[in-house]
Structure 1
């Protein structure tokens, strides 16, 4: 189920009631919208979210919005969740009742905060943020019954930033996973957040396991964004992660695919997409665009993976795909828009 909250067509005089009512019925924690911001001509708040296991993933577009999570809201409805948020655009100011505020945020910044601690966030410049509201139970085995977790701002230059964001994006990208798969992904993300919070993985076996998984996710996302480079290799990936070749191979040990095989799988999947989606591009052009600098190697790898040569695949599968799309269109079937990462 997709939850949507949008104030675009709500008159200023009705915004308070609209937001109070709809937030009350949503998985979001109880929050207070500043009256001053609600009356602002540039005010805009749009949440679109969905459940991922027992967590809630949202995309928030906010401008001239001030949200406060104060003691009355916390007492009335404790959230019991830790918020992880990745800022894509704009900025926001985060202040706390119990410590100094964060410096001005910039796109790319990653925030970890406990929603049962008093705080205020003010969004400006048409901020766009992806948020994950994760149950505190994922963190409790490591932090115990502490009243609340210390907030952390993780920035691109920080050591664990890449691993944390890779785990976050992997969670956001999941669509209709099994309960077991959703729980595993959220567990890895929570553990990466705990490491960014200062826990040493060498002192916790569970964190050590999640660190290995986080490295694999980071490596896969790096491969997926550099698949077109024929020089891409295990050495290049390991250097990007800042780990040894041995550590990189260990990260893939449980997947049934080594680094080279996974790279080839990603390249072939991209090639299949191009063959179907870009009929004007030649097979040679597709091969080069997917990081294959040898056409015969591309033909051999593609045939092994899909049971036919690239040209035959394009002639056979493209018409079938077109007919299926036409039937779905006539039947009125449409996918929900993807939740961006």
Structure 2
């Protein structure tokens, strides 16, 4: 993992370093900021490799950023970029009079060699996450991607929801993927499906959809662990698939929906036991969706070979 902050530099050096090292050399972009605002510039950056892709995250002061033909020639990259605008709306000009507004929470998809100019809407900084995926014939399956100019995804489509779920999982260090290379391929194909470049009937497209639905289902389960009544029907209704399809999603994992949910609840309970000493065992059990203390103790001991109290004591003595 690469991590960098301008806090370690002298104020007068921060913007120039960010512009030259992080902008031109690493991302192949040109950054512009009024000279009178440069002394107050701050930026943080991190990047981690997942499979053959890179997830990068930035929080920084507002500035204009563009990828010019000269930038593309200097730092060429045949990659698909999936961006998530967490904070700081703005506008992206892709030429020919086409300007898109990027709202907070929007996802964008583009090819890395398409020029653009981005302008912030506000001056209070931004938070942005991007997944850069090298393209290959195995991913593209004959689809055309080199002309994908930056464009936002419709937030109401199933593709965007599945991309959001997979993006969140790939970006979460606490959710290691069983097969990161496969997940990277799946999210790339979902992005191509969302931009109308792949046919939905291809076997690889169907596999990408199944992977996306599985991540979306797990995200719903994680968000609702506290609900004892959480069921496959609840998940099916939220992601608009059949109850049978929900069960089929979990078959390749080797764990049923019920066993997956129990494992997630146990892991969260163990985390709380280790990090929340003021909270009683019973409070934690109920907060994680167990409706019986006896059941909680039984399945916890079966899973970890010790009682909840043992886990808490070990964490206190560590």
Query: Which band: TM-score by shorter chain?
Result: 0.7 to 0.9
Q: Call closer, same or farther: CA 1:323–1:9 in 2, change over 3 Å.
A: same
TM-score computed with the length of structure 1 as normaliser: 0.82
Q: CA deviation at 1:158?
A: 3.1
Q: Call closer, same or farther: CA 1:63–1:4 in 2, change over 3 Å.
A: same
1:318 equivalent to 2:316? Answer: no
Alignment root-mean-square deviation, CA: 2.7
For residues 216 and 24 of structure 1, the distance between their equivalents in structure 2, rounded to whole angstroms, comes to 38
Most deviating of 44-53 and 127-136: 44-53
Unaligned 5+ segments in structure 2 are none
Tell me what 1:34 maps to: 32
Q: CA deviation at 1:119?
A: 0.2
For residues 243 and 320 of structure 1, the distance between their equivalents in structure 2, rounded to whole angstroms, comes to 43
Q: Aligned with 2:64: secondary structure?
A: strand
1:114 equivalent to 2:108? Answer: no
CA contact (8 A) 1:54 1:135 kept: yes
Map Cα deviations across residues 103-160 of structure 1 (whole Å, 9 max, x no partner).
2x3221111122211101123332111111111226433424x542243312433332
CA contact (8 A) 1:271 1:287 kept: yes
Q: How does 1:241-252 map to 2 (within 5 A)?
A: 241-252=239-250
Kindly tell me the number of residue pairs found equivalent between the two proteins. Answer: 315
Q: Aligned with 1:20: secondary structure?
A: helix
Unaligned 5+ segments in structure 1 are 325-341
Q: Call closer, same or farther: CA 1:294–1:117 in 2, change over 3 Å.
A: same
Tell me what 1:303 maps to: 301
Q: Call closer, same or farther: CA 1:198–1:174 in 2, change over 3 Å.
A: farther
Tell me what 1:205 maps to: 203
Tell me what 2:140 maps to: 140
For residues 199 and 80 of structure 1, the distance between their equivalents in structure 2, rounded to whole angstroms, comes to 16
Tell me what 1:225 maps to: 223
Map Cα deviations across residues 239-276 of structure 1 (whole Å, 9 max, x no partner).
11110011111111101111111111111111122223
1:255 equivalent to 2:253? Answer: yes
TM-score computed with the length of structure 2 as normaliser: 0.88
Most deviating of 255-264 and 290-299: 290-299
- Correspondence for 1:234 among 232, 235, 259: 232
- Correspondence for 1:290 among 277, 288, 291: 288
Tell me what 2:170 maps to: 171
